[in-house]
Amino acid sequence: MDMVAGRVWADERRPVRHIDWVLLLLTVVLTIVGLVLLHSISATTPDEAAFWLVRVMKQGATAGLGSLVVVLIASFDYRFFKVYAGFIYLGALVALVLVKIPGIGATDPSGVAQRWFAIAGIQITPSEITKVCAIVMLAAILSEIRAPEPALGDLVRVLAVAAVPLVLVFIQPDIGTSIVLAAIVVGMLIVAGTRLKHLLVLTATGLVLIGLAFQLGVIQDFQRERLTAFLDRANVSEDARYNLDQSLIAVGSGGLFGRGYLKGTQTNLDYVPRQHTDFIFTVAGEEFGFVGAMFVLLLYALILWRAIRIATLSKDPFGTLVAAGIASMFAIQMFVNVGMVIGIMPITGIPLPFLSYGGSSILVSFAAIGMLESIHMRRLS
Amino acid sequence: MSSRIKVLALLVALMFVALSTRLWFLQVLATTQFQQQARDNSVRFVYTEPLRGLMYDDRGRPLVGNQESLEVRVNRDAMGTQAEAVVYRLAHLLNVPVRMLVARLQTNRYYSFQPIPVAEFVPPHVRDYIAEYQELFPGVDVVPTSVRAYPQGRTAAHILGYVSPIFAGEYDRLKNKGYQQSDVIGHSGLEQVYERFLRGSQGIQKFIVNSNGETIRALGVKAPTAGDDLHLTIDLRIQRAAERELADELARARSGHDINGLPLKANAGAVIVMDAQTGAIKAMASLPSYDPRWLVRGLTKSEADYLYKSAAAPSLNRAIQLGYVPGSTFKPITALGALKEGFATLGGYYTCDATYTHPGDTSGTVFHNWTTANLGTMSLAKAITISCDTVFDGFGSKFYFSYVQNQLSDSGLLLQNDLRELGFGAPTGIDLPSEGSGLIPDPAWAKTRPDLFPDGWVPGGDILTMIGSTYMMATPLQLAQAYSAIANGGHLCRPHVVDQVVAPDGTVVKRAEDRCNRTIPYPPTDLAYIRGALGSVITSGTAQCSFSGFPTSQVWVGGKTGTAERPPHQDTSWFAAMAGHNPNAPKYVVIAMVEQGGFGAEAAAPIARHVIEDIYHLPNNGQGGCAVGDR
């Protein structure tokens, strides 16, 4: 063994040589697709068009900031996150509690939810950040279980840790993020090797709890109406059905090849409410048709493939679990969001990663990419 | 672990299968149905007009406001078969001739489904009657609208401008800017220049309607935002004084006679009061004028003819839109040029003969002074004080020689370049529309006028410009700008009428600042010398008679008369003045101009005198005009 060979070997293992370029490229393409779609939602009057231009630029700037976040997080060894998992987790809980306090947390214009902090004009949504914090914490606990299958006691511990942020997010009320958190927990438990029996019991318990939430009135009326509109379309008010109807018309009228960029009437005439955030996928569906919609889904599929591949490649259980958690997060958000747009999931208000307008959502998605890269880059060390 | 990852991957794959299947169903199998629904969807827009911004003078006194008018609108489509009867009933109710109503309805400015306004300011009982018997008036609506109010009446009409309905040809340009066919828009004055600030933004309500036209849902509501207010530099008190003195003097001048013994016409005039230190316009009057309230309630035929077709051209703002031959008021300005180029010096003496001939000129062209007497030699200041033409004719020859020697370069046009530097020959950039440029005669212009200059540029071109005569043209505002530069020590200030544009929430959207950032290349000693000469004009020169009894110890005044020949018309009477407590930095420049008003000292000087007296709260004295002085 000579010195030169040793140096080559060390150089070979330098993390920067192992960036997942495919993942980065996919992220960039998806972000650009998002800006293109956002730009299309410009209304007919010039006043509003200017307003939309500002939004597109703001979203672009956020994505620029997001790429810095990717570099920053990827340059950290992800195993540090394991060391500080407890602090990260507690920080997220504190933010979730603070945002409920009037005067600190800002109120939604509709007056029904308190969800964000306004710091220096930037909206920071703690429930978004909680998702990655919870992934780190759960991965830290699950990776310490040495047995091939977690024991019941371990499961209870994991569920208790997951339950606290989940409940805090749920009572915000932010049902969408609660669903994402629940899916993350399930996804990570599967990968951690939880027994099928336990998973089934867990699912049953979850359903019972949701039923209870309905009965005890924890779920607010507007949320209940959206859910029932999904289940029983004939018996709800015009208003409750409106969102879904317009969204279906938008996507359905796109046909195979779409109505052409900037030519979607549903999009341009502002028929679809909250189109820039939760319903951004309608633009792809209406203006680029089935082909365009499938192209967007393909980009998500490729990103998820890279995430799952990273989970497989990591030799360290913590890395595997973090990557699996992130994959679960992206998958459920993509599925529930697109699902609600095309009427196979209830309307819950989950942003579509990289596409929906909103600073926190974009930044958290980029942070997750940064963590995936960090794991990928250090898989050999 | 890796087998469990495969489970996760499988679940994810199932998600994609579910989504793709559903998309295939929606977009490929069922797309026809959704495309039909997309076509059936339609949006109806309902606009709420914003309140237009207001205008205030420099102390916050209201100049332009808003008032409510009950407007009768007729929707031709909705009248149905009763159209004839409805028009007849409506004419009866409004007490107007049927044919007038028909005329207003027979317009192609509106689509047939758009309501056409047919009467404004109807009394409330008309509204109540129509509401009560709506079945007799299908398609007729009485709606409150906001229209302009002018609390000061005709005052400052030219500055404020007016709004009127969008012209047919204009709409194509405006429709992308959120205007409706039935909107009004600023068509003159500040209303025109500051349209985008004053207008505010419309409120928009969007409704989704189904294919039966029933409203399904309100989409979005945007409340209207009132327009921004304008805070003017105009001082209402001085503005009123300027208008009053101008009107009084025009009337008085008409009792005088020109040098041929014919009565003076004194048909029009203008006055400008400018803050010489800042370029702020404190008053600007132009006669003949009009009443902006005519446009609010709709012009009658005779009013429209007077406003747009008559020779009096009352809609012209003569203070800024027309170039006039400036006459001898130009001498202080060309004197500065002669000093700069070294053709004259502060200590020099020049001959003021009765006639002047360009050296070496054999064409027989002779330039006359305004008097046949031979006045001997005199300083430059004296030449200004008594307005000696022949002294300036001599400087004109020198400018001409410099042109001849440097014909191939621009630097040969010393006189023309000096005048451009002082703001002549181009609009000053005031925030009012259709500003005139005036004219600086030069060889290039002479080529375009072979009727006047058959032999090209000749000495007379420069000589006549030296005394502001014949071809040279300046707007009163250009003179005000140049005199202000003399008054303030060499800063060319861009004149302006609006000091601040203030949004409804109180934030300042736009502010007039840094308007005096151009400097003219004249040493302070030259400018002080010229101011001294202008002071002598008042105390011992051509305006001595017009200003007799004026308390110059309290308020220093300097000025220059001008009597511009304008054949075949009577002479234009000019007076350009500056006044203030400090002779070294007079605060105000006052320009007065009367078309066909005779001598400068006769019509214009008394106006300037009285305006200065009004500004400084001095009693109006003096016997008025003196038919004397430079011609």
Q: What is the pLDDT of residue A10?
A: 60
Cα–Cα distance, A13 to A378 (Å, whole number): 8
In tens, the pLDDT along A34-46 reads: 999 988 886 555 5
B28 chain-A contacts, CB cut-off 8 A: 255-256, 290
The pLDDT > 90 percentage for chain B reads 60
Task: Identify the bridge partners of residue B215 per DSSP, sorted by sequence position.
Answer: B209
In tens, the pLDDT along B580-626 reads: 999 999 999 999 999 999 888 889 999 999 999 999 999 887 666 67
Q: Where are the domains of chain B?
A: 41-61+154-230, 62-151, 327-519
| C-alpha dihedral, B426 to B429 to B432 to B435, nearest 10° | 0
Q: Find the range with the poorest average confidence among A95-99, A109-113, A233-237, B296-300.
A: A109-113
Tokens at A277, concatenated: 């955030």
B208 chain-A contacts, CB cut-off 8 A: 271
Q: What is the pLDDT of residue B103?
A: 83
B568: DSSP letter = T
Extended beta strands in B268-376, E state: 268-275, 281-287, 350-351, 355-356, 367-368
Cβ–Cβ contact B10 with A under 8 A = no
| B27 or B626: which leads in pLDDT | B27
Q: What is the pLDDT of residue A74?
A: 93
Q: What is the pLDDT of residue B171?
A: 81
Does position A15 have pLDDT exceeding 70, yes or no? yes
Q: What is the pLDDT of residue A170?
A: 85
CB nearest A301 (choices: B7, B16, B34): B16
Task: Identify the bridge partners of residue B232 per DSSP, sorted by sequence position.
Answer: B498
Cβ–Cβ contact B204 with A under 8 A = yes
B18 chain-A contacts, CB cut-off 8 A: 335, 339, 344
As a whole number, mean pLDDT of residues A158-166 equals 93
Cα–Cα distance, B21 to B27 (Å, whole number): 10
Does position B74 have pLDDT exceeding 90, yes or no? no
Q: What is the pLDDT of residue A270?
A: 67
User: Which residue type is seen at B581?
Assistant: H
Cα–Cα distance, A168 to A100 (Å, whole number): 9
Cβ–Cβ contact A190 with B under 8 A = yes
Q: What is the pLDDT of residue A1?
A: 44
Residue B438 backbone zone (phi > 0: left; psi -120 to 50: alpha; other: beta): left
> Distance of CA B102 to CAs A240, B105, B299, Å?
49, 5, 17
Report, in this order, helix, strand and coil percent for chain A, each rounded to 5: 70, 5, 25
Closest Cα to residue B285, out of B235, B229, B231, B328?
B235
| Stretch (H or E) spanning B259 | none
Q: Who contacts B261 (Cβ-Cβ below 8 Å, separation ≥6)?
A: none
Q: What is the pLDDT of residue A121?
A: 60
pTM given for the model: 0.65
Q: What is the pLDDT of residue B551?
A: 92
The answer to whether B41-61+154-230 and B62-151 have equal CATH topology is yes
User: Which residue type is seen at B28?
Assistant: V
Tell me how many residue pairs between chain A and chain B have CB atoms under 8 A apart: 129
Residue B581 backbone zone (phi > 0: left; psi -120 to 50: alpha; other: beta): alpha
User: Do you find a cis peptide bond into B288, omega within 30 degrees of 0?
Assistant: yes
As a whole number, mean pLDDT of residues B162-181 equals 80
Q: b or e along B313-343 (b: 16 or more beta carbons within 10 Å of the residue's beta carbon)?
A: ebbbbbbbbbbbbbbbbbbbbbbbbbbbbeb
Extended beta strands in B316-433, E state: 350-351, 355-356, 367-368, 377-378
A187 chain-B contacts, CB cut-off 8 A: 8, 11
Cα–Cα distance, B415 to B461 (Å, whole number): 11
B41 chain-A contacts, CB cut-off 8 A: 246, 249, 265-266, 269, 271
Domain B41-61+154-230, CATH among 3.40.50.150, 3.90.1310.10, 2.60.40.10, 3.40.50.720: 3.90.1310.10
B217 chain-A contacts, CB cut-off 8 A: 238-239, 242
| B79 or B151: which leads in pLDDT | B151
Cα–Cα distance, A188 to A304 (Å, whole number): 15
Largest CA distance in chain A: 79
In tens, the pLDDT along B519-542 reads: 999 999 999 999 999 999 999 989
* β-pair type (B55-56, B229-232): parallel
| B144 or B497: which leads in pLDDT | B497
Closest Cα to residue B195, out of B183, B212, B207?
B183
Q: What is the pLDDT of residue A110?
A: 47
Residue of B nearest to A192 (CA): B1
Alpha-carbon Rg for chain B, nearest whole angstrom, is 33
| Stretch (H or E) spanning B509 | strand B508-511
| B262 or B65: which leads in pLDDT | B65
The chain-wide mean pLDDT, for chain B, equals 89
> Distance of CA A338 to CAs A73, A349, A364, B28, Å?
28, 11, 19, 17
Q: pLDDT band at residue A319, thresholds of 50, 70 and 90?
A: very high
Cα–Cα distance, A82 to A322 (Å, whole number): 10
B33 chain-A contacts, CB cut-off 8 A: 252
B201: DSSP letter = B
Domain B62-151, CATH among 3.40.605.10, 3.90.1310.10, 3.40.630.10, 3.90.1150.10: 3.90.1310.10
Q: Among A189, A191, A246, A253, which would you mutate to test the B interface (most chain B Cβ atoms within 10 Å of its Cβ)?
A: A253
**Owner of token pair 């299309």:** A40
Q: What is the pLDDT of residue A278?
A: 85
Q: How far is B40 from chain A (nearest CA, A)?
A: 11
The pLDDT > 90 percentage for chain A reads 46
Q: pLDDT band at residue A286, thresholds of 50, 70 and 90?
A: very high
Cα–Cα distance, B223 to B49 (Å, whole number): 10
Residue B64 backbone zone (phi > 0: left; psi -120 to 50: alpha; other: beta): beta
Q: Who contacts B96 (Cβ-Cβ below 8 Å, separation ≥6)?
A: B119
Q: What is the pLDDT of residue B624?
A: 61
The chain-wide mean pLDDT, for chain A, equals 84
* CATH architecture under which domain B327-519 falls: 3-Layer(aba) Sandwich (3.40)
Secondary structure (3-state) at B507: coil
In tens, the pLDDT along B220-272 reads: 677 888 999 999 999 999 999 999 999 999 999 888 888 788 888 999 999 99
Q: b or e along A253-264 (b: 16 or more beta carbons within 10 Å of the residue's beta carbon)?
A: bbbeebbeeeeb
CB nearest A45 (choices: B15, B34, B178): B178
In tens, the pLDDT along B416-450 reads: 999 999 999 999 999 999 999 999 999 999 999 99
Report, in this order, helix, strand and coil percent for chain B, each rounded to 5: 35, 20, 40
Cα–Cα distance, B137 to B160 (Å, whole number): 38
Q: Which of residues 26-65 of B touch A (CB under 8 A)?
A: 26-28, 30-31, 33-35, 37-38, 41, 43
Cα A379 from chain centre: 24
Does position A112 have pLDDT exceeding 50, yes or no? no
Q: pLDDT band at residue A21, thresholds of 50, 70 and 90?
A: very high
As a whole number, mean pLDDT of residues B161-184 equals 81
Cβ–Cβ contact B355 with A under 8 A = no
In tens, the pLDDT along B476-508 reads: 999 999 999 999 999 999 999 999 999 999 999
Q: pLDDT band at residue A111, thresholds of 50, 70 and 90?
A: very low
By the 10 Å C-beta count (0-12 exposed, 13-18 middle, 19+ buried), B261 is classed as: exposed
B500 phi and psi angles, rounded to 5 deg: -140, 145
Q: What is the pLDDT of residue B259?
A: 79
User: Roughly what angle, to the nearest 10 degrees, separates helices B459-466 and B414-421?
Assistant: 30
Cα–Cα distance, A240 to A228 (Å, whole number): 9
Residue of A nearest to B20 (CA): A294
